[in-house]
Amino acid sequence: MTEAAATEFRFDAVQLKALASGRAQAYQAASPFPHVVLDDFLPTGLAEQCAAEFPGPEAGWDFYADGGNTKKFATSDEALMGPLTRQLVAAFNSRPMIEFLEELTGITGLVTDPQLLGGGLHQLNPGGFLNVHADFNVHPHLKLDRRINVLLYVNPNWQEEWAGHLELWNEDMSVCAQRIAPVANRVVIFNTTSTAFHGNPEPVACPDGNARRSLAFYYYTIGRPEEERAAAHTTLYQEPGKGLTEAGGNGAAAPRPSKLKAGLRRVLPPIVVDGAKRLRRRA
């Protein structure tokens, strides 16, 4: 990306379109689920400036433990964000970004979340972590299907031994397919489904006074492909290397995408499908 003043930053739609065109095929074919890692995503120095604006968890942030599955601070309150950070929030929710994501992912009709529910600024201090999980799949207020995550890391001089890597796991939780260091100005984009398992379960080991800082943005559509559908759920935690479990660490049942259901609907008479629905409702 080109240089830009912090107070007037916005994405260049032409540059984003070219980037999406060049990466779309690899993104959509990536394993264990569609994703891409993009370095130097922002103009030089902006990620570091954003990190310097993080107000620190003592300034009114929320702390999340989620039944022992995480240890992180977060805020979606723009009143707690600095001027550059607010510019970035606006840019990641802008039309050029939406058009970039649609071309990159092949998912059309994307909409942003002005509430930044679950997103915004995230910070993990030394010892912080987030267990491997699949994200909530339906926005509880907007009732939209969550389809894309975009994570921007803003950690200057991040060292490999400080851990905090983002891990992407396969569908049956048998293999960690990729580990991604949270270095400054790196963006990770990936599809979210009920089996798109990811997290940073290894506790952050940076020195005191440092932290793993990121911005998180989520994108939605009205509905999703039949093969990806599952009952609405909250975060579904999984234990790496133990195989897929049927309940997340938060106690919620882990619904499976309805591939079998979709196949049955194609071959069964409508009267049989309708009868099954009535029986389920009665149950």
Residues forming a β-bridge with 203: none
Tens of pLDDT along the chain (283 residues) come to 444 444 579 999 999 999 999 999 999 999 999 999 999 999 999 999 999 999 877 778 999 999 999 999 999 999 999 999 999 999 999 999 999 999 999 999 999 999 999 999 999 999 999 999 999 999 999 999 999 999 999 999 999 999 999 999 999 999 999 999 999 999 999 999 999 999 999 999 999 999 999 999 999 999 999 999 999 999 999 987 666 665 444 434 444 444 334 433 433 444 434 444 444 444 3
Tell me if 116 is assigned to some domain: yes
Beta strand pairing call for 111-112 and 212-221: antiparallel
Tell me if 266 is assigned to some domain: no
How many of the other CB atoms lie within 10 Å of CB of 265? 14
pTM comes to 0.85
Length of the chain: 283
How high is the pLDDT of residue 1?
47
Domain count, the chain: 1
Tell me if 263 is assigned to some domain: no
How high is the pLDDT of residue 170?
95
Tell me if 183 is assigned to some domain: yes
Tell me if 72 is assigned to some domain: yes
Q: What is the domain-level CATH number for residue 225?
A: 2.60.120.620
Tell me if 275 is assigned to some domain: no
Tell me if 49 is assigned to some domain: yes
How high is the pLDDT of residue 7?
56
In terms of residue numbers, what domain contains 126?
6-258
Tell me if 42 is assigned to some domain: yes
How high is the pLDDT of residue 55?
84
How high is the pLDDT of residue 246?
52
Long-range contacts of 156-160 (CB under 8 A, 24+ apart): 156/47, 156/48, 156/51, 156/184, 157/184, 158/182, 158/183, 158/184, 158/206, 158/212, 159/206
